[in-house]
Structure 1
Amino acid sequence: MKAVKKFIEVKKDKSVTVKYLPFKPGSKVEVIVIQTESKEDVFDYMNTIVKKKKISPKSLKEVERIVHEARGLK
């Protein structure tokens, strides 16, 4: 699955137009619309927090272990 992220303003008629997608004409796509107050998305925000708090990078296995420990599932 290929994902593309774009920031687009809603028009006066409450519509949006997404242009210049990297897919062939006729391709099937799924569209999910998420309202945001800024141009910074959750991933950019988390990167900022990680750098600010000097959190070391974790593998998916390490994250899984931490989540299970926090939930008391060890």
Structure 2
Amino acid sequence: MIYLLAALLPPIGLLMNGQPFAAILNLVLCAVCAILGLVFHVLLLVPSAHALIAVHVKREDRRHREVVDAIRRHGLPPGYPR
């Protein structure tokens, strides 16, 4: 759901994902790409691509932290070489 929101409304998607500075940067990027996108149409996709990449990186970072915390709390999985 957050990926769909980030693709269609990039600054809102970044805010909902907990990235206010990235949302402000994306809002500026939207303004610049809207002006330059009149000539170079591919630039209209840049803010959405930025938001999708930022959301993905943040979610992967959260998942990585959860795995590291679980390993710290419970130890390595059985059979894992040390």
TM-score normalised by length of structure 2: 0.26
Greater relative contact order, per chain length (Cα 8 Å cut-off, separation 6+) = 2
The structure richer in helix per residue is 2
